[in-house]
């Protein structure tokens, strides 16, 4: 495991974790972890717990642990306060579409809004956002490095 960037606060340090050895959907992805500042193991590596798919998830998990204690139970259908919070705010509802589909949908939205009078760019941009919303799509980003 290799720890890249780190973000320090008085109570906690967050780490970017690369070369973690996981395969499947996590292979090659940067994961995130947290631990107490300057708490290292005998090999000089940070003592961290679970790895998370995004820095935001690691932060939410740390806050939940700080106020409700460490995860005490595991297994399917058992979640931490952080898991429930992530679900409540829709952290897992992002569904990426292929680049080909992105181009197709954006082309259709562009064509559908061609009648919007030429003027401030925001008018056409707002019309395109509305057109995408009619199709059940939103412009978004997932801030987990993927």
- Identify the residue whose tokens are 């292979």: 27
Taking the C-alpha atoms of residue 138 and residue 144, their distance in angstroms, rounded to an integer, is 18
Per-residue pLDDT, 33: 93
Domain spans of the chain, in order of start: 2-88, 99-134
Residue-wise pLDDT for 20-79, tens only, equals 888 888 888 899 999 999 899 898 889 998 888 889 889 888 888 887 777 655 544 446
Question: Residue 16, Cβ neighbours under 10 Å: how many?
Answer: 17
Residue-wise pLDDT for 105-137, tens only, equals 888 888 888 877 666 777 878 888 888 888 777
3-state secondary structure 55-119: HHHHHHHHHHHHHHCCCCCCCCCCCCHHHHHHHHCCCCCCCCCCHHHHHHHHHHHHHHCCCCCCC
| Cβ neighbours for 47, distance < 8 A, ≥ 6 positions apart | 35, 36, 39, 40, 41
Q: What's the predicted TM-score (pTM) here?
A: 0.56
């Amino acid at each position: 495991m290799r720890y890249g960037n780190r973000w320090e606060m008085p109570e906690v340090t967050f780490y970017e974790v690369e070369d973690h050895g996981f395969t499947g959907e996590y292979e090659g992805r940067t994961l995130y972890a947290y631990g107490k500042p300057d708490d290292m193991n005998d090999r000089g590596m940070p003592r961290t717990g679970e790895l998370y798919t995004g820095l935001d998830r690691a932060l939410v998990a740390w806050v939940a642990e700080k106020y409700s204690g460490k995860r005490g139970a595991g297994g399917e259908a058992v979640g931490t306060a952080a898991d429930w919070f992530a679900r409540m705010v829709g952290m897992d509802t992002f569904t990426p579409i292929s680049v080909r589909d992105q181009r197709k949908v954006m082309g259709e939205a562009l064509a559908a809004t061609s009648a919007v009078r030429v003027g401030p760019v925001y008018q056409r941009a707002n019309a395109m956002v509305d057109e995408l919303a009619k199709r059940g799509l939103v412009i978004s980003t997932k801030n987990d490095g993927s």
